[in-house]
A and B are shown apart, each in its own frame.
Chain A
């Protein structure tokens, strides 16, 4: 009797696992097809395959990131934003979908007019916030914190960036050292500089250089003073220049 009860249960479990695995592999297959199409600049095929992959696996941060790089190449920003809007509506707990949705707005900023840039930047912030609320992570805190630094002083948002980047720093210090953690040292130092605390900025950059001795971004910051340093930092937060939003550092081993 017990054997008869256990057997269907096991069968159901196996079927479930197979189904889940099939879902994953189907998503992966579409993703790989998308990457292949992107390689030959077949954008329509690439876009539809990326979207299929993400629909099957909405929380996949890599799929979302690669999709957006494709979108940047073919300038289909509005399509991308609409896609993510639907994706998060269908998958309201997918923290990484919200993160990539936020980045979709960031990706459009250099292609937009000066006032639309403000609107896009603000929308991206609210989506990064949603991602943090769903699942606090280093990448989400770093991303939102770094985004605040693009807002001119007059909007009084830099202190919010400092708070997020300090949180990201706390998280990375509790984690194993990873190559991309250097970004927090750069940005947090910039954030302190923007708060007119040069001493704290330099301390963070120095600490970062201790951890990542060859990093050119930290080296150049520590080698500049006054207006040169100002020009260097400001040029890094120019909304008219495209920000590298490719998240591949998260999965590529260096």
Chain B
């Protein structure tokens, strides 16, 4: 009897110990911890929302309160990821911060020549690093409510404005931009997500510029697809590629090979109406698979982040929406079923509620082999009065025309979904996440927008940069103790695009099997590092690392752990390219 009782008690105890061990990242038990060092590091950039003139300028400012964006890349090839951060008000300058490698950054904006973008008719909204001419140096795109700016990286710390000859001359109210090679021709193309239709918001010709419906709007800016011809010019191919019929209020665009066919597919997160997913036909066109793959929704999509959160070999998608006291939309964690369909598992996994969501990014912050999730939130933190009851009085007015800006009440100093604590979800590896923002030290209450993830100090632990509307940006340095082993891979394309965007790496290590794809700006208003990061937990060696390049080449490489390794397409491991 005693023996039986002992067995009954021993089994769950052993099981508990096993799970504790399996769940620990390194040899000890790790607890994710961050320290905010933005000011010390010199990157606590203060963003300014564009102030519109006129009677309804207040409403327009509210509708365009994004624009606090960050883009990460090693622009000078010194092995350290740098930061480009935007501002949005007229005359305000964007900032390029060079990473000094000692925990500090130097503002090199003026010498680099990348400050401008905000003028009387243009509002900077997003930024993107990508090597459009495959010369080995990342170039810079500044997206705007207006026409974009394209800067060529001259290689001497200076950039040259090449917009005029780039073909990127079409006016649009662009709020999101990604670079990806949709036709696998070796050159990076561009996809813009446009919020408003192509109206100059600084000089309104009509008051009907706002959404015509707050759940099913069809008068947004849609998307614009630009094909890179390889000679420094882009051609608009939106309609030709089958993306012309989308007229939603696109807030973010994400890409990834969702059906594992070697071609990049796209997800559009849209405000005031349904998101859309397009599969790549492999012939330069896309097919709208929304109805079958995810179904139509009425939510306020803000973020399209792509990662394989459950390590099943299929890329999943995370979309933030609005979940607050007055609106219970719930986010969407689209689990890829592997058959062209996705299932929203946000409720089941505990990632449904991030309040008024904005940028959200996956990253394995404790190197345990499972990607965690950091989500920014908060629309407007101002006075104690709340805008929602005022807004609802307008919404319920019979026959109201939502698109007419004159019908919208001014917000003045009222708050709207403000003072919201950020969320950090620790991936438990069991199709569930635990919210740990407070204990990890990242539960700030700023009006978050973009989230860029990178290992800024090359210590193998992923850091977080958070931009905020009308507030200072934050840099969270990862200080997790006993984090697991890790692997970081910087891929360099040769036949494929030089940034290797779209390349997929599959790593097997012990019981872990993980995939990562190099992304070109997924997630709202931010671009994370293109260096691929894998947490390995207690596993001490890589069993296999397979790279599938966009060109179709599949390579197996041997890579050391706890080190940053550069790999060139067709050549395997190489030394870091020199500046």
- Is the Cβ of A114 less than 8 Å from the Cβ of B386? no
In the bound complex, do residue B326 and residue A152 qualify as a contact, i.e. CB atoms below 8 Å apart? Answer: yes
Give the chain B neighbours of A250 by CB distance below 8 A: none
B8 located at the interface, meaning its Cβ lies under 8 Å from any Cβ of chain A in the complex: no
Cβ < 8 Å to B, chain A residues 44-101: none
**Are A238 and B328 interface neighbours, CB within 8 A?**
yes
Whether a CB of chain A sits under 8 angstroms from the CB of B339 is: no
Q: Which residue of A lies closest to B402 (CB)?
A: A115
Closest to B326 in A: A152
Interface: A8 (CB within 8 A)? no
Contact with B along A235-248 (1 / 0, CB 8 A): 00011100000000
Contact in complex: A154, B328 (CB < 8 Å): no
Which residue of chain B lies nearest to A116 when distances are taken between CB atoms in the complex? Answer: B215
Residue interface mask B297-334, A partner, CB < 8 A = 1: 01110000000000000000000001001111100000
Sorting the interface of chain A by its residue count into under 10, 10 to 19, 20 to 34 or 35 or more gives 10 to 19
Beyond A119-B396, A154-B388, A155-B392, whether A112 also contacts B328 by CB under 8 A is no
- A113 interfacial contact with B, CB 8 Å: yes
Given contacts A113-B215, A154-B325, A239-B328, contact A118 B298 (CB under 8 A): no
- Complex contact A115–B215 (CB within 8 A): yes
> Which partner residue on chain A sits nearest B329 by CB separation?
A114
Bound-state CA distance A116–B272 (Å) is 11
Other-chain residue from B216, B328, B386 in contact with A240 (beta carbon distance below 8 A): B328
Contact-residue bracket for chain B: 10 to 19
Contact at B299–A118, with CB atoms within 8 Å? no
Contacts of B325 in A (CB 8 A): 152-154
- Please measure, in the bound complex, the distance between the C-alpha atom of A123 and the C-alpha atom of B400, giving whole angstroms: 14
B389's partner among A122, A155, A238, A239 (CB-CB below 8 A) is: A155
Among B299, B388, B389, point to the contact of A114 (Cβ < 8 A).
B299
- Give the residues in chain A near B329, CB-CB below 8 Å: 114
> Do B298 and A114 touch across chains, with their CB atoms under 8 A apart?
yes
B contact residues around A112 at 8 Å (CB): 215, 298
Instruction: Give the contacting residue for A118; candidates B216, B273, B300, B392; CB below 8 A.
Output: B392
Encode B386-399 as 1/0 by CB contact (under 8 A) with A.
10110010011000
Give CA–CA (A119, B322) in the complex, Å: 17
Nearest chain-A residue to B273 (Cβ)? A113
Q: When chains A and B are docked, how far (Å) is the Cα of A123 from the Cα of B541?
A: 64
Question: How many angstroms from the CA of A152 to the CA of B386 in the assembled complex?
Answer: 13
Knowing A154-B326, A238-B328 touch, does A115 contact B395 (C-beta < 8 A)?
yes
Is the Cβ of A113 less than 8 Å from the Cβ of B392? no
Does A156 sit within 8 A of B, measured CB to CB? yes
- Interface membership of B436, Cβ < 8 A: no
The answer to whether B214 has its CB under 8 Å from any CB of chain A is: yes
Q: How far is the CA of A248 from the CA of B75 in the complex (A)?
A: 70
Assess whether A115 is in contact with B328, with CB atoms less than 8 Å apart.
Answer: no
Q: Is the CB of A154 within 8 A of B299?
A: no
Chain B residues near A155 (CB-CB < 8 A) = 326, 388-389, 392
A118 touching B328, Cβ below 8 Å: no
Q: Is the CB of A118 within 8 A of B395?
A: yes
* B interface footprint on A150-188 (CB within 8 Å = 1, 0 otherwise): 001111100000000000000000000000000000000
Residues in chain A near residue B395, CB distance under 8 A = 115, 118-119
Q: Are A113 and B216 touching (Cβ within 8 A)?
A: yes
| CB proximity of A153 to chain B, nearest CB, Å | 7
Q: How far is the CB of A107 from chain B (nearest CB, A)?
A: 17
Residues on the A chain within 8 Å of B389, using CB = 154-156
Q: Is the CB of A115 within 8 A of B214?
A: yes
- Enumerate B329-374 residues with CB–CB distance to A below 8 Å: 329
Residues of A within 8 A of B298 (CB): 112-114, 116
- Over the window 99-131 of chain A, the binary record of Cβ atoms lying under 8 Å from chain B Cβ atoms (1 yes, 0 no) is 000000000000011111011001100000000
Report B-chain residues with C-beta under 8 Å of the C-beta of A238. Answer: 328
Residues of B within 8 A of A154 (CB): 325-326, 386, 388-389
Indicate with 1 or 0, residue by residue over B211-226, a CB within 8 angstroms of chain A CB atoms: 0001110000000000
When C-beta atoms are compared, the residue in chain A nearest to B330 turns out to be A240
Least CB distance from A241 to B in Å reads 10
Give B328's nearest chain A residue, CB to CB.
Answer: A240
CB of A101 to closest CB in B, whole Å:
15
What distance in Å separates the Cβ of B356 from its nearest Cβ neighbour in chain A? 12
Q: Which of A123, A155, A240 has the most CB of B within 10 A?
A: A155
Q: In whole angstroms, how far apart are the Cα atoms of A44 and B516 in the complex?
A: 52
In the assembled complex, the Cα of A207 lies from the Cα of B300 at a distance in Å of 44
List chain B residues, Cβ under 8 A from A122. 396
Residues of the B chain whose Cβ atoms lie less than 8 Å from the Cβ of A156: 389
Residues of A within 8 A of B328 (CB): 114, 238-240
How many Å from the CB of B414 to the closest CB on chain A? 12
Q: Are B214 and A116 in contact (CB under 8 A)?
A: yes
CA distance A147 to B298 in the complex (A): 23
Digitize B258-277: 1 where CB-to-A-CB distance is under 8 Å, 0 elsewhere. 00000000000000010000
21 pairs of residues in contact across A and B, judged by CB atoms under 8 Å: A112-B298, A113-B214, A113-B215, A113-B298, A113-B299, A114-B215, A114-B299, A114-B300, A114-B322, A114-B328, A115-B215, A116-B214, A118-B392, A118-B395, A118-B396, A119-B395, A152-B326, A154-B325, A155-B389, A156-B389, A240-B328
| 3 A-B pairs closest in CB distance | A113-B215, A113-B298, A115-B214
9 extra interface residue pairs, beta carbon distance < 8 Å, beyond A113-B216, A116-B298, A118-B396: A113-B298, A114-B327, A114-B328, A115-B327, A118-B392, A119-B396, A153-B325, A154-B388, A156-B389
